[in-house]
């Protein structure tokens, strides 16, 4: 009885306070609709289980385009359309093999080819391995130490970063640029410590980039357990060798699409607020958190507004970008078409950090006085939903090109809790079962709440 009385009292107090502010009332409606009738979880289940991995250029990527277009049409959005975009088509091939070779002893370790990597010779590649902590150490050692060897980049995540995305950013240059840099010094292959603080046997893939006209050498990620073992053995024995075999290849570019759903603005139909995630994923798993959650949250924002009968002042788009993982062609095409069609973009939000508990948003290209006004006026409205962190910071890869053609745009990154994301990012563990339904729904409602506030009040304070 005491609990029921307390609950009734708290709900009554909340509703009474909300009634004093129309924005509070509407934000409550947004969260109520999502938490009672939300559909991103069931949509994500279909995307993951019925379609699965969606690497650019693959048959599954096209299935995802067809299905998400149909889904948004079924929701009855004002407009649903595709944007043509040519994307790279890289395939992994047969499962990779790797061994640490010490005399007659061979120890198998878990590796995966980096996206965009070339294959090894058919019989594999075996050579002495040399460990470095990063590109700078590689340059210091020079060609004499590197030529003819396999370079092992082993710089770990820096655990001092509270926001784990910062640790990822600090370590990932050795994956993205490391193979191309090692090739300059005569290396014949590269293995890179997986981009995670988790110590396990799941290697993390991710894109690598060769320089045009440069030598292309095979590159793979090694699990953190494998990396620790290799590093230990290198300390114990000089001249240790490493064997790598992978069968990946790059095929001709393929026609694909961004998928766009739109609610037309009633007052400013040619001024847009965009929310998006990327529809493509790596090929090792289902692309659940990266970025199925972001895709389904983006669609869900429009579904929430449709369900509530909300007619926005500005046009609101959900954009499912293609090819974020290994080319960024979808984001570039969206910005190109926005310029071509002379569209004014007020704001763009990207959700590509997993479907974990929402914490807030970071803003790029925003004046300090505007951010302070936002904090003063909107933070109290967002606090009841624990998504009130409004800070300057990065936004997202797919929306970044909009800044080139639309300098006045405000770019926004959705910031969920980051502590678990890189445990599964780009691995075989990125599956539907690792997504929490309520966390996913809270994120969708949080994004819808911010878009509502921007639509109602703009970004001038």
Specify which residues 350 forms β-bridges with.
276, 413
Are 239 and 149 spatial neighbours (Cβ–Cβ below 8 Å)? no
Are 329 and 390 spatial neighbours (Cβ–Cβ below 8 Å)? no
Cis peptide before 290 (omega within 30 of 0): no
Q: Which residue has the tokens 């499912």?
A: 320
Which DSSP string corresponds to 131-186?
EESSHHHHHHHHHHHHTTSEEEE-PPP-TT-SSHHHHHHHHTHHHHTHHHHHHHTT
Q: Please give the Cα distance from 161 to 157 (Å, whole number).
A: 9
Burial label for 24, CB within 10 Å (0-12, 13-18, 19+), is middle
Q: Which one from 96, 324, 325, 400 is the annotated catalytic residue?
A: 324
Alpha carbon distance, N-terminus to C-terminus of the chain: 46
Q: Which value, in Å, is the radius of gyration of the alpha carbons in the chain?
A: 24
Six-digit token string for 308:
């509530």
Q: Can you state the percent helix, strand and coil of the chain, rounding each to 5?
A: 40, 25, 35
Residue 324 annotated in active site = yes
Q: Please give the Cα distance from 440 to 288 (Å, whole number).
A: 11
CA angle 422, 234, 428 (to 5 degrees): 25
For 91, residues 6+ apart whose C-beta sits below 8 A from its C-beta are 55, 58, 248, 249, 251
Six-digit token string for 152:
């092992």
Are 429 and 3 spatial neighbours (Cβ–Cβ below 8 Å)? no
Helix or strand run (H / E) with residue 376: helix 368-382
Ramachandran angles phi, psi of 89, nearest 5°: -130, 90
Q: Please give the Cα distance from 42 to 48 (Å, whole number).
A: 10
Give the DSSP letter of residue 208: -
Length of the chain measured in residues:
461
| Tally of CB atoms within 10 A around 134 | 17
Six-digit token string for 420:
């678990």
Are 435 and 44 spatial neighbours (Cβ–Cβ below 8 Å)? yes
Catalytic residues: 324
């Amino acid at each position: 009885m005491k609990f029921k009385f307390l609950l009734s009292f708290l709900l009554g107090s909340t509703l009474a306070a909300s009634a004093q502010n129309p924005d509070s009332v509407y934000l409550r409606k947004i969260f109520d609709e999502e938490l009672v009738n939300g559909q991103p979880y069931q949509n994500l289940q279909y995307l993951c289980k019925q379609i699965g991995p969606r690497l650019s250029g693959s048959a599954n990527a096209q299935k995802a385009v067809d299905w998400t277009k149909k889904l948004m049409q079924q929701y009855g959005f004002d407009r649903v359309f595709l944007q043509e975009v040519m994307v790279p088509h890289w395939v992994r091939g047969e499962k990779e093999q790797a061994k640490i070779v010490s005399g007659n002893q061979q120890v198998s370790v878990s590796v995966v080819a980096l996206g965009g990597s070339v294959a090894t010779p058919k019989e594999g590649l075996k050579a002495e391995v040399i460990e470095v902590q990063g590109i700078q150490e590689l340059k210091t050692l020079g060609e004499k130490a590197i030529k003819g060897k396999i370079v092992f980049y082993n710089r770990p995540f820096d655990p001092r970063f509270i926001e784990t995305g910062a640790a990822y950013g600090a370590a990932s240059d050795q994956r993205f640029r490391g193979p191309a840099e090692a090739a300059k010094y005569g290396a014949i292959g590269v293995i890179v410590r997986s981009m995670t603080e988790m110590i396990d046997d799941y290697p993390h893939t991710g894109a690598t980039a060769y320089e045009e006209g440069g030598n292309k050498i095979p590159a793979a990620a090694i699990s953190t357990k494998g990396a620790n073992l290799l590093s230990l053995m290198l300390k114990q024995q000089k001249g240790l060798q490493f064997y790598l075999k992978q069968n990946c290849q790059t095929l001709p570019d393929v026609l694909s699409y961004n998928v766009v759903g739109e609610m037309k603005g009633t007052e400013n139909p040619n001024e847009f607020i965009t929310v998006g995630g990327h529809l493509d994923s790596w090929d090792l798993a289902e692309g659940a958190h990266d970025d199925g959650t972001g895709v389904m949250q983006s669609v869900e924002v429009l579904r929430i507004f449709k369900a509530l009968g909300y007619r926005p002042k500005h046009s609101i788009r959900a954009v499912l970008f293609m090819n974020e993982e290994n080319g960024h062609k979808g984001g570039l095409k969206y910005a190109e078409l926005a310029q071509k069609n002379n569209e004014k973009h007020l704001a763009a939000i990207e959700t590509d950090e997993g479907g974990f508990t929402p914490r807030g948003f970071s803003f790029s290209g925003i004046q300090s006085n505007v951010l302070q006004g936002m904090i003063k006026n909107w933070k109290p409205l967002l606090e009841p939903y624990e998504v009130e962190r409004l800070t300057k910071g990065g936004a997202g890869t797919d929306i970044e090109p909009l800044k080139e053609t639309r300098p006045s745009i405000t770019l926004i990154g959705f910031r969920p809790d980051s502590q678990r994301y890189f445990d599964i990012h780009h691995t075989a563990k990125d599956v539907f079962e690792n997504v929490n339904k309520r966390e996913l729904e809270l994120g969708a409602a949080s994004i819808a709440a911010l878009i509502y506030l921007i639509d109602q009040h703009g970004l001038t304070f």
